[in-house]
Structure 1
Amino acid sequence: MPHVHGRFAPTPSGPLHAGSLVAAVASYLDARHQAGRWSLRIEDVDPPRCPAGAADTILRQLEAFGLEWDGEVRYQSQRDHAYEAALARLTQQGMAYRCSCSRRQWRDYGIYPGWCRQGTRRPDIACAWRLRSDLGARPVSWQDRVQGYQRFDPAALGDVVLKRKDGLWAYQLAVVVDDIDQGISDVVRGLDLLDNTPWQLQLYHALGVEPPSYLHLPLVMGQDGQKLSKQNLAKPLPDTEREIRQLLYATLTCLGQRPDPASRSAPVAEQLLNACRAWRPDAMVTHAISADLLGVTASE
């Protein structure tokens, strides 16, 4: 069996909630079931969104649920040099270009029209960097381990931003560079990121690296039909032992893993050990998970 390396990569914009836990538990089980490594990466490339202490809170929450990671925690805020090197390589290939256009200028178009592809329209002002999706590998396809066969033409999605006008790195470039550097073989994440995968596959191809396998999880949805998220005021994970054990059991159930009902109040280490042995991603539903099944709601 090839070496497996999974990861959980939250943005420290606040404490983890039940939706975050679903992704963390699934990625943990997937890696451990295959006797693989599981790493923790804090995606803090956007400091204005990352309040002080949020990353430490996330670490404590994961520990409380028994989700122990391998090695040191990686922080994207310390990886500027690696992203610069990747952007330089893409620029040399003609796959990245400076763009002075604002969203307001192209808001009447479905996607950015590529006005700066042949030269920056306003080189005298702050510019973003974009990916030339029309020059990258296209179409791209992959076999998602839960969602099935996927095929996209990235050019139909537009030229995604790699570095913002304010100098901050964008998710698309940072996540690929770090997954490459850490040797991540299996990416387990939410379905809301599925349509980001085509750009990321183009980046893997341009950087000369085989992409990982992908498993996109169903999202946890509230009664209002919105994804459970910090923006929608999802409650932080509980911190009492009884609630932690019950929420872990509910999470395993929502992931289609059918844990023994007798383990509902079992210690988290026992629940995770049994779940790792019995992990079956093919038992997972593809549709949304109701937050009610997890016993959680938005905060009041």
Structure 2
Amino acid sequence: MALTLRTVNLATLIVGSFFYGLYCVLFFISLYLLFLRRSTHNSSQPTPSHGIHKRAPAIFRSFLFTTAILLFATVTCHWIIIVYRAFLAFGSEGDAEAFYDNNKHITFLLLDIFLAVVTVIGDLLILYRLWIVWSKSTLVVVLPICCMLLFTAVGGVSTNVIKKSNGVFSDPWLTVNIVCTFITNLYCTVFIAWRIWRTTRMTISSDNKLMNFGPQKFLTIVVESAAIYALWVIFFGVLYEVKSILQSFAIETGPAIIGIVNALILTRIGLSWTSEPDRLPSTQLIFAALSQGNHGDSV
């Protein structure tokens, strides 16, 4: 059966809803674990002699919590628009094929805007993890920050071009956006993965023997390096460059995938299953410092 915009977008609705549901589950689990971890950490600290020790506000003020909430809100809005477009296409609009091919419709432009916002927030979270894993080194995040700023600037131009063009494939600026996102994610994935791998090799047990590189360490690298996000960018980029209509499936399921990737990172942090040297006291692992005086960061 030949692929049509109608069948592709119907598949997008089904798969995208599944991904969004999975993201919701992981998101609320990660929030619960973050609250639990912060409460456990605070309960082990002495209560200050002045004032009341408040735990929740500290979590609300954290960068991870704030950006996670913003990401959840924007991904939710994106998914609602997908569902609304499906009702329009198969209901009031009548001709689903013509509706999905109309890139000037307000709902299409809203999808594009929310996708850009989700991408920026998702990249910010990945950049933050890169900065933390590299002991808050500013130099290591310069290139991805420049790419993200270029993506933000070009995004507005791209939306305006698509609104006036006959199709998404006639927008040259979208290719620039894909390249910027690809460079940002590939860079962050490689540098985070390499840092964690190097730290893992320096991990020693109590008998001073090197630990084996097991499945948990492999999953740590996959989760924290956002490798899934990078694979999605490659998948979408290839489909767009070959001008496949499946690119709409890839791009519209993207926000939920970005949400899942970041929820997995937050879940890992909440479980204290981390590459940073801020493990819970019960662990028997000791992470050798990569450089004297460098420490990780907590939530």
Q: TM-score range by the shorter chain?
A: under 0.3
RCO comparison, higher one (Cα < 8 Å, 6+): 2
* TM norm structure 2: 0.24
Structure (1 or 2) with the larger CA radius of gyration: 2
* TM norm structure 1: 0.24
Instruction: Give the helix-richer structure, 1 or 2.
Output: 2
